[in-house]
Structure 1
Amino acid sequence: MGTLRDLQYALQEKIEELRQRDALIDELELELDQKDELIQRLQNELDKARPRTKRQAISAEPTAFDIHDLSHVTLPFYPKSPQSKDLIKEAILDNDFMKNLELSQIQEIVDCMYPVEYGKDSCIIKEGDVGSLVYVMEDGKVEVTKESLKLCTMGPGKVFGELAILYNCTRTATVKSESGMFKKKKAKKNPTASIVLLMYNYVLVV
């Protein structure tokens, strides 16, 4: 067993070793902080150089053109009742594929829509066709079929026709009007469909 002096010397060595280790840790932490700061500066510079783009709706493939490429285009707005605006907006937000659009884009889509009528038994969408319109029902009913088999019936407040737009593919089903629409005299007050601007490559049925 060592003397008291030997024990004191060994303890002093351990203390010095711990001090050096702490100093090394402090030095490494300072180096990490400096590197983090450098990374942040480089990231900021990269963000400045990168073109600013907003999120798009979910899409497996890019569509024919980008919404944001046409941001300089002046879009015509069409008047519609507050009820129609709310219905269109809620229909888009309720749609799994379109709800990811930014609210400003949704509002612009709503504002740029104008009414279109479809009579009973009208073919609105034909399976296999190339499509550039998206629809939102405001009144009446439509029947959805695929390969002549009925899939479902949809009523007001539903979006349809969006898959061909968002996934850049042909129409996946046929949609026909099932019930009669309003007469022409009532169409202005009670539109049965609305079309979204070409800029968005959508069309919504109100």
Structure 2
Amino acid sequence: MGTLRDLQYALQEKIEELRQRDALIDELELELDQKDELIQKLQNELDKYRSVIRPATQQAQQQGSGTLQGEQRTKRQAISAEPTAFDIQDLSHVTLPFYPKSPQSKELIKEAILDNDFMKNLEISQIQEIVDCMYPVEYGKDSCIIKEGDVGSLVYVMEAPSQALLPVSHSLLSQLCRHTSVMQRFCLSSEEVQIWNQIHTLMPTAA
């Protein structure tokens, strides 16, 4: 039988061993919490990319089908406000279509996005992708761009002298980007203008 000193020494060893185990458990729990936070952050980022990449994949498939049929299709980029069903493997081969623009055009489109209540809170990288992916459409004299009752599934950014648009009103131009149904007919007078288009789901159309 050991002496009292031996028993005290053995007890101290056990206490120290338990203390080390507790410290290790605390360290592992902290590491687990950090990993959980990282997983949540990555999940949030994935949800953001789902809203961009899935429509882009569908667009690429539609464009490929149109090429086989020999049809000229207007290229469009879709942006959804909510995550959709998505296969992460799509990220490995999807390429977003970019369209060349002058620095002035890029700045004009960026300012229009930042002035839009539905789009101004997007990530900077998402805004840049939208700017890069918007495509130009030329409209000639007497062309009608959008009329009353049309569903607001397109984002328009007009690059032209303001007098080319009839009627001209800041409030009416604001409706072009901020409402799903534009309550005015926009027509061109004597000048040709260039419109940068981008499909964008804003909200359900009011009945």
TM-score normalised per structure 1: 0.50
Between structure 1 and structure 2, the one with the greater Rg is 1
Looking at both structures, which has the greater relative contact order when contacts are Cα pairs under 8 Å and sequence separation is at least 6? 1
More helix by share: 2
TM-score normalised per structure 2: 0.49
